[in-house]
Amino acid sequence: MLTNRIAAYFSGFLVIGLLSTSVLAEPERIAPEEGQGGTAQEIVSKLEMLHYNKIKIGDEMSENLWNEYIDALDPTKSYFLASDIDEFRAWEAEMDDQLRAGDVTAGFSIYNRFRLRMGDRLDNILSQLEKGLPAYDFSREETLELDREESQWPNSISAADELWRKRLKSSILNLRLTGKTDEEIQDLLVRRYKGQKKRLEQQKSDDVFELYMNSLTRLYDPHSNYLSPRSLENFNMSMSLSLEGIGAVLQADEEYTKVARLVHGGPADRTGKIKPNDKIVGVGQDKEGEMVDVVGWRLDDVVDLIRGKAGTYVRLETIPTGGDGTHKTILIKRSKVKLEDQAAKKAVFEFSDGSKSYKIGVINLPTFYIDFDAYRRRDPNYKSTTRDVARLLSELKEEKVDGIILDLRNNGGGSLQEATMLTDLFIDQGPVVQIRHANEQISRHNRSRSRAMYRGPLMVLINRLSASASEIFAGAIQDYNRGLVVGNQSFGKGTVQTMAPLKEGQLKITQSKFYRVSGDSTQHAGVKPDIDMPQLIDAENVGESAYDTALPWDRIHAVPHAKYFNLKMLIPNLITKHNKRTETDPDFVFLRDQFKFDAERADKKYVSLNESTRENERKSVNQRLLDMENRRRKAKGLEPYENFEAYEESESEEVANIGGPVEIKLEKDPILNEAGYIMADFIGLADKASKAPPQVANF
C-alpha cells in the first residue's frame, strides 16, 4: 500500500536528508508566522463540520496525526534517531488540543529537529565528496533494504552512519552502472547535495505549516488538502504549464519527482515508456544535452526544466516503478496538448466472429470536457464531450457500423455534467448517478432526453486509470445492461471535493460520494469489467485502494432502473471465446509476461551493492526484455532484434517520429484490437440467440 504523502505535492517541498556523526550545529529555526494559528483553527473547524467523514479531532486523532506527520517527514525511517522519536512522544496526545488553541508549536519543533539532522548530514557528506569518492569495496557482498516502512529508526549515530554509508554507496553504484566515470559521479553528487542543502535553507514557515496541516487533512481522506496562497498559485501554474511540455502531471515524493498521471494522447503517454509512479531523477535537453540530476529539487523547478518549445526534445532519466532501482532514459518530443488533442475521435474497423464480418466504430474519449467560457457566453458552437460524441455517432450511422466501442481507458474524469449528458445518448430515461452529501441527503442526476440517440450494440473499454466521471458513465451502462464493460477494474475515485476559502489559502475538502443506480459506490472498488483484459498497471500501487486513508466502499438503496438486454446469458460464451483467442496471441502473451516480470521485480526487498552482481542483474533484465519482445516479433513474422541496443534504438526512433494528431491504431493497441473481436462475437451471438439489440440503422 502506498503511504498517503500528498502535502508536499503542492508546494513542491521535497523531504530529503541525512544523519550525521558530527556535532549538531543549530541552524536558524523556522518559527510559525502570525495568523497560522488562526488558520489551523479554521482548518480544524471546517474539517469537523464539512468533511464527509464527520470525524472529531480528539486524542486518537492526535496520535494518528503524530504518526502521519513523522511519517511524512521520515517515511524511510532513515533521518531521525530513535531518541528523537522518544522525545517527540511528549506531543503524541497533545496535538489536538494545541491545534484547537491555534498552537502549531509541535509541528514546527519536530520539523526543526528534522532540518537540523538533514543539514548536518548534508555538510558531512559534502565534506567527504569534495575530497573524492569514498573508497567503497564494490566486490563486497552486501545489500541495501529497499522498503524500510516496517524498519525502525537508527538507535545510534553509528547505526545511522551505516545506513547512509549503504545509501551513498548505492547512489554511486547506480551512476557507475550508467557508464559515468568517477569524476563525473563526484561532480554530479556534489551538485546534487549542494542543491539539496540550498533548497533546505530556502524552506519557509509556509512550507512547514502546509506540511503539518496536510498531515492532518490526510487523516480524513487523500483528496482533502490545505493549500497556502503561494502553493495554490504555484500548483495551478505548474499543472497548466506541465501540459505544454510532455503532458504529465508531476508530484513530489520524498526527494524525488514522481509521475502522478499522464495526459491521454500527450507526448509522454504516446511513448508508452512512462507509467504513473515512475520517478524522474534526471532531465536532459535535446537528444545529446547534459543530463541534469534533479534528485532533491523542488517540484516547480523540475517542471520548468522539463518544459520547452514545442517540437524540441527532452530526455528523462527515470527509475521505473516496481523495479530494482535501475535507471532508464526516455526521449520525448515536446508538444502542447491542445483541446483538439483531448477531443473525442472516431475510427472504423472490420472484425469477424469467424462466420461474418462486422463494421465496428471506435470512439476514443480521453476526458470529459466542456468549454465553460463559451457555454456561459451562450456560444451556440461551444465544445463539449456530449456534442462531439453526438456528431461522431451521426457520422458512424452514415458509415453503417454494426456496433460501437467507447474507449475510456486512461480517462481520468472531468465534468460530471458531461458524464451524465453523455449517458443520454445511450439510454432512454432514468437516473444516472446518486450523490450522498456530508449531511446524508441524497441527490440524483437523471438523463434529460426522451429517447437515446444510439440504440445499437455498445461496449465501454476501461482500465485502472479510468476514474471519476468515467466510472459514473461505465457504471451506468453496466447497471442498465446497456452494453458490455471490458478491460480492467477502474481507479475507484468516487468522491467529490469542493474548495473552502480560508483567511490564508484554501481548503480542498471531500463533501460528497458517488453511488451507482444499483446502490454500489464507485469509491474504492471502482467499476469491475464484465470481461477482463490483461492487467498492465499494478492495482496494488495505482488506484484509490492504494491510499491508506481512502474512504471505504459501501452501498445505499438502489433506485428503479431499466434492464436493456440479457447480457449475462452471453458473457460466459464471450469470455470463453476471448480466452481461447488470446491464449496464444503473441501480443497477449507478451503483455502477460511483461506484467509478471514487473511484479517479480517489484517484490524485491533488497538490492545488491556488489557491482558485478548488479551488472549481471542489469544484463539479465535487458536480456529478458529482449527475449520477450523477440518472441512476440517472431510469432508475428517480424524480424527479431539482434541485441538490446538495437531494440532501444528502434524505440527511440518511434518516439522521434511521433507528431501530429493522435490516431486510433489497432496495430499498436492489442487491447483495442481484441475488444473489436469481442464486439464481433457479441453481435454474432446476440443474432443467433435472436436477442440482438436494435442495429445502428434504428438511431
Catalytic (active-site) positions = 468, 479, 493
* Cα separation, 544 vs 549, whole angstroms: 9
Nearest C-alpha neighbor of 613 from the set 140, 81, 285, 86? 140
Pairing of strands 431-437, 506-515: antiparallel
Which residue bears the cell 469470455?
Answer: 575
Identify the DSSP state of 33.
P
Number of residues that make up the chain: 699
Identify the DSSP state of 6.
-
Nearest C-alpha neighbor of 10 from the set 214, 278, 189? 214
* Cα separation, 557 vs 444, whole angstroms: 12
β partners of residue 512: 437, 496
* Cα separation, 514 vs 416, whole angstroms: 11
Neighbours of 371 (CB within 10 A): 15
Coil vs helix vs strand at 231: helix
- Rounded to a whole number of angstroms, the CA Rg of the chain reads 27
Quote the Cα angle for 348-349-354, to 5°.
145
* Cα separation, 557 vs 304, whole angstroms: 49
Identify the DSSP state of 693.
P
Output the 3-class SS for 121-147. HHHHHHHHHCCCCCCCCCCCCCEEECC
Neighbours of 468 (CB within 10 A): 24
Task: Kindly write down the DSSP assignment for every residue of 86-118, as one continuous string.
Answer: HHHGGGTTTHHHHHHTT--HHHHHHHHHHHHHH
β partners of residue 352: 357
Instruction: Please state at what angle helix 105-129 crosses helix 205-217, rounded to 10 degrees.
Output: 120
Burial class (CB in 10 A: 0-12, 13-18, 19+), 596: exposed
* Cα separation, 476 vs 425, whole angstroms: 12
- Answer whether 306's CB lies under 8 Å from 316's CB: yes
Structure-block grid coordinates of residue 212: 503539518
Burial class (CB in 10 A: 0-12, 13-18, 19+), 98: middle
* Cα separation, 390 vs 380, whole angstroms: 15
Structure-block grid coordinates of residue 688: 443467433
* Cα separation, 527 vs 529, whole angstroms: 6
Phi then psi for 466, rounded to 5 degrees?
-80, 120
For residue 434, the one-letter residue type is Q
Coil vs helix vs strand at 47: helix
b/e string for 8-34 if b means 16 or more Cβ within 10 A? Answer: bbbbbbbbbbbbbeeeeeeeeebebee
* Cα separation, 7 vs 38, whole angstroms: 19
* Cα separation, 161 vs 149, whole angstroms: 19
Phi-psi region of 77 (alpha: psi -120 to 50; beta: other; left: phi over 0): left
